[in-house]
Amino acid sequence: MNQKVSAYAAKSAGAPLGPFDFEARSPREDDVAIDILFCGICHSDVHQVRNEWGNSQFPMVPGHEIIGRVTETGAKVQRFQSGDLVGVGCMVHSCQSCAPCHDHLEQFCEKGPAFTYNSTEMDRKTPTYGGYATKIVVREAFVLRVDPVLDPARAAPLLCAGITTYSPLRQWNCKAGDHVAVVGLGGLGHMAVKLAASMGAEVTVLSSSPAKERDAKRLGAHGFEIVRGPQDAARLAGRFNLIIDSVSAPHDYNAYLSMLRVKGVMVLLGVPPEPMPVGAFSLIGGNRRLAGSLIGGIQETQEMLDYCAAHKIEADIEIVPAQKINEAYERMMKSDVRYRFVIDIASLKA
C-alpha cells in the first residue's frame, strides 16, 4: 500500500515553498523505504525552484542531501535492514547497463539518470520527489550506508557538497605536498578546504571577502589570499598545483589559470549564469588544464562517506525547521549562512 508523505514543495516557478502531500510507493523487491531525518539545502535547489536552468517541473519537492533511517526493505534487499542510518544523494536510479554505469559513473548514464527530484523514474513518467519530505523510497543500489560515528545532521551535506568536492580531489590525486587553492568559501568551498587539508595538501582560500579569513583558517586552510583584480593574480602566478573553483558568479577564469603551476589543473564546480571566456594562451602557457566535475558515482560517494567517517569530516551547518525554508533561501542568496542550511524533517511532522 502506498504511503502518504508530508513535504514542502514549490507549486510554480519562483513561488514560495509550502506544505504538500504526496504518496510514496510501497517498497518493491529491490527497494528501501527511509524515514528522512535531515535534508541539506543546496544552492541548486534555489536554481531549480526558480527555474533558472529552464528545466523545472512542478510541483517540485527539492532536496538531494538526505539522511534517514531504514523502515522497510524489499524481499531481495541484502545490504540494509530496518534501523540502519543511510543516505540518498543526487540520484535514485539509472539504466545500470550503459558504459558510464558500468564504470560507476551513473551521473552520466547514457539514458539519463533518475535524479532525486525535478526528474522522473526510469519509466520517464513517474515524477521524483526529494528530501524536503518525511519519507523516500529508493532502489537499494542507490542507497548509501552512513557510519553512526557521523552526526546525521552534519552528514547530510556530504551527499552533494561532500561528493562534489571529494571527487575532483581524488580525480586529480590530491596528496601531501600539493598546493591547492579553493576559490570561494561557501557550501562547496568549505568542504573542499576540509577534504584537501585532510589529504595533506597545503590549502589556500582565494576570496574577495577579508571577513572569511578567520573561518578559512579554522576549517583547515594554511593560507588566505584576497583576489580582486589583475594585480592579485600576478602576485599569485604559478603557485598552485590544483585549483577547485566553487564560484557560480561571473569571474575571470584566465586570472585564476595564471595561478597554476606547469601542468596544473583548475576544476570548475560552480555554474556561472553566462559562459566565461578562456584564452588559449591561458592553457597553452604551462600546459595548464581546465576541467569540470559533476558530483560523483554511487561507488565514489560511498567511498567519500567512509573517508569522512574515518577522518571525522562533517559540514558546518545551521539547522532550520521546514517552516523557515523560504527564509533560508533568501539568506543563502545573500551568503548569510556558515556554511549549509539543513532542514530538521521532524518539523514536518509537528
Q: What is the pLDDT of residues 230-256, one digit of tens each?
A: 999 999 999 999 999 999 999 999 999
Question: Class of the 3-160+315-349 domain?
Answer: alpha beta
Does residue 339 have a pLDDT over 80?
yes
Does residue 349 have a pLDDT over 90?
no
Contacts with 94 (C-beta within 8 Å, 6 or more apart), sequence order = 101, 106, 109, 111, 113, 114, 122
Mean pLDDT, residues 176-182: 98
Does residue 34 have a pLDDT over 90?
yes
pLDDT reported for residue 297: 98
Does residue 133 have a pLDDT over 80?
yes
Does residue 74 have a pLDDT over 90?
yes
Measured between alpha carbons, how far is 68 from 62 in angstroms, rounded to an integer? 16
- Which region, left, alpha or beta, applies to residue 123 given φ > 0 means left and ψ of -120 to 50 means alpha? alpha
Measured between alpha carbons, how far is 249 from 227 in angstroms, rounded to an integer? 14
Residue 133 DSSP code: B
pLDDT reported for residue 82: 97
H helix runs in the chain, sequence order? 43-49, 99-102, 152-155, 161-171, 187-198, 213-219, 230-235, 253-257, 280-284, 298-311, 325-333, 346-349
Of 64, 39, 45, give the one whose Cα is nearest residue 333.
45
With contact defined as beta carbons under 8 Å apart, do 118 and 60 qualify? yes
With contact defined as beta carbons under 8 Å apart, do 326 and 305 qualify? no
Inter-CA distances, 258 with 95, 96, 252, 278, Å: 41, 40, 10, 11
Q: What is the pLDDT of residues 265-291, one digit of tens each?
A: 999 999 988 999 999 999 999 999 999
Does residue 350 have a pLDDT over 70?
no
pLDDT reported for residue 340: 97
Give the total residue count for the chain: 350
Of 127, 187, 179, give the one whose Cα is nearest residue 328.
187
Phi, psi of 254 (to 5 degrees): -60, -35
- Share the mean pLDDT of the chain: 96
pLDDT reported for residue 1: 67
Measured between alpha carbons, how far is 259 from 235 in angstroms, rounded to an integer? 9
Residue 34 DSSP code: E
Measured between alpha carbons, how far is 39 from 320 in angstroms, rounded to an integer? 10
Q: What percent of the chain has pLDDT over 70?
A: 99
Give the pLDDT band of residue 149 (cuts 50, 70, 90).
very high
pLDDT reported for residue 14: 87
Contacts with 52 (C-beta within 8 Å, 6 or more apart), sequence order = 46, 273
pLDDT reported for residue 286: 96
> Can you name the residues that pair with 23 across neighbouring β-strands?
4
pLDDT reported for residue 3: 85
pTM of this structure: 0.96
Other Cβ atoms within 10 Å of 230 Cβ, number: 12
Domain locations in the chain as residue ranges: 3-160+315-349, 162-292
pLDDT reported for residue 83: 98
pLDDT reported for residue 273: 86
User: Cell numbers at residue 140, please?
Assistant: 537499494
Measured between alpha carbons, how far is 210 from 80 in angstroms, rounded to an integer? 46
Q: What is the pLDDT of residues 185-217, one digit of tens each?
A: 999 999 999 999 999 999 999 998 899 999 999
Of 158, 165, 27, give the one whose Cα is nearest residue 89.
158
Query: What is the CATH number that goes with domain 162-292?
Result: 3.40.50.720
Side-chain-side CA neighbours of 325 within 13 Å: the count stands at: 31
Inter-CA distances, 266 with 239, 257, 283, Å: 12, 7, 10
pLDDT reported for residue 145: 98
Helix (H) or strand (E) holding 73: strand 66-73
Phi, psi of 233 (to 5 degrees): -60, -40
User: Cell numbers at residue 252, please?
Assistant: 575571470
